[in-house]
């Protein structure tokens, strides 16, 4: 049993439905069902009664919920204590979705402060769901994430329910990342790529990010779920993704190129044709907390980065 499992259990109790709780927690319904079964296995008792009308707590589940709520409340008190006691100008703890543009900002802050006599900087890359959970449970202090612009209302409600502050950064159309030597780029300057032309090629995606909206693209002819591609390759980090794309005719979906993407990997980014989808990027922090000078410096660097990218996209 960990803090994330407790939050998932409380969500099922709150919504009275595993399906609704999964949507609220931004994970798949089968994944949440598996988590709940694991919780019950660990507890050695049935905590939730599944019916056609939804999910209700058993008497044991009601008692279990009370203990979970106490634990979550004490965790919040502990986070408040840490925030007040450790406004440390030598610490920077960031959790981000896997976009090189964000990591460049973290690297720049590290470069500026590399000669500090004492420092403790942490960068963790994870899914959108886990970025949110990392900020909620205090394992990171500032998060940078992305989600589909069409889900903005739902995401804002999610942030509000978790007592998080959200700062929107920019919104981008999806780009196709592929090798500069890819067959689709032969014969001239390609301005856009139709998603139908990609179906014969392997799609590279991150393992475990089932809620990542970048894999479900809204096209003019309807939604396209890239997870249903005939060829799918799963990786765990950005560098492996770029290396794989550079030596194959595989592709992935992202936003405009990051610095040195083409020169370092031979991978270019071409806008996706005929899509209404947009990816919204933003920064999340816990409410009622004051960013340290380093956290504020990182936030400013991220804002500058994404606003600059947005201006370039508007000009192109």
Q: Tokens for 118? A: 């004492």
What are 261-286's pLDDT values in tens digits? 888 899 999 999 888 888 899 999 99
What are 217-236's pLDDT values in tens digits? 666 666 777 777 889 899 98
Residue 197: alpha-carbon gap to chain centroid: 27
What are 71-100's pLDDT values in tens digits? 888 888 887 776 655 555 688 999 999 999
CATH class held by domain 87-155+284-315: alpha beta
Q: pTM score, two decimals?
A: 0.70
**Between 85 and 305, the higher pLDDT residue:** 305
Beta bridge partners of 252: 177
Q: What is the pLDDT of residue 23?
A: 86
In the chain, which residues fall in CATH 1.10.10.10? Answer: 3-84
Q: Where are the beta strands (DSSP E) in 180-221?
A: 203-206, 216-219
Q: What is the pLDDT of residue 245?
A: 95
From residue 234, alpha-carbon distances to 34, 55, 207, 231 in Å are: 21, 33, 5, 10
Q: What is the pLDDT of residue 104?
A: 95
CATH architecture of 175-271: 3-Layer(aba) Sandwich (3.40)
Is the pLDDT score of 24 beyond 90? no
What are 107-132's pLDDT values in tens digits? 999 999 999 888 899 999 988 889 99
Most confident option among 73-77, 144-148, 298-302: 298-302
**Between 169 and 288, the higher pLDDT residue:** 169
Q: Where are the beta strands (DSSP E) in the chain?
A: 48-51, 54-57, 91-96, 120-125, 142-148, 164-172, 175-179, 203-206, 216-219, 222-225, 232-235, 251-254, 267-271, 279-286
Domain 3-84, CATH: 1.10.10.10
In the chain, which residues fall in CATH 3.40.190.10? Answer: 87-155+284-315, 175-271
Q: What is the pLDDT of residue 101?
A: 92
**Average predicted confidence (pLDDT) for the chain:** 87
Is the pLDDT score of 244 beyond 90? yes
């Amino acid at each position: 049993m960990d803090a994330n499992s407790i939050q998932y259990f409380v969500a099922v109790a709150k919504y009275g439905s595993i399906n609704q709780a999964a949507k609220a927690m931004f994970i798949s319904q089968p994944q949440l069902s598996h988590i709940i079964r694991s919780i019950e296995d660990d507890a050695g008792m049935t905590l939730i009664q599944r019916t056609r009308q939804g999910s209700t707590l058993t008497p044991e589940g009601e008692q279990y919920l009370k203990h979970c709520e106490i634990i979550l409340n004490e965790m919040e008190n502990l986070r408040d204590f840490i925030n007040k006691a450790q406004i440390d100008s030598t610490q920077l703890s960031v959790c981000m979705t896997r976009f090189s543009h964000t990591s460049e900002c973290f690297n720049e802050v590290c470069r500026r402060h590399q000669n500090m006599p004492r420092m403790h900087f942490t960068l963790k890359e994870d899914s959108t769901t886990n970025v949110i959970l990392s900020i909620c449970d205090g394992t990171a202090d500032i998060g940078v994430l992305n989600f589909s612009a069409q889900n903005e209302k739902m995401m804002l409600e999610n942030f509000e329910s978790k007592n998080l502050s959200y700062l929107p950064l920019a919104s981008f159309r999806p780009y196709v990342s592929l090798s500069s030597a890819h067959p689709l780029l032969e014969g001239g300057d390609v301005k856009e790529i139709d998603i139908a032309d990609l179906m014969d090629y392997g799609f590279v995606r991150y393992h475990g990010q089932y809620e990542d909206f970048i894999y479900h693209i809204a096209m003019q002819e309807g939604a396209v779920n890239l997870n249903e591609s005939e060829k799918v390759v799963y990786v765990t980090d950005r560098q492996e993704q770029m290396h794989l794309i550079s030596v194959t005719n595989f592709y992935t979906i992202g936003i405009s190129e990051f610095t040195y993407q083409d020169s370092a990997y031979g991978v270019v980014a071409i806008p996706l044709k005929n899509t209404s989808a947009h990816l919204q990027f933003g920064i999340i922090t816990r409410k009622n907390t004051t960013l340290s000078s380093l956290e504020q410096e990182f936030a400013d660097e991220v804002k500058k980065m994404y606003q600059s990218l947005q201006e370039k996209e508007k000009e192109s």
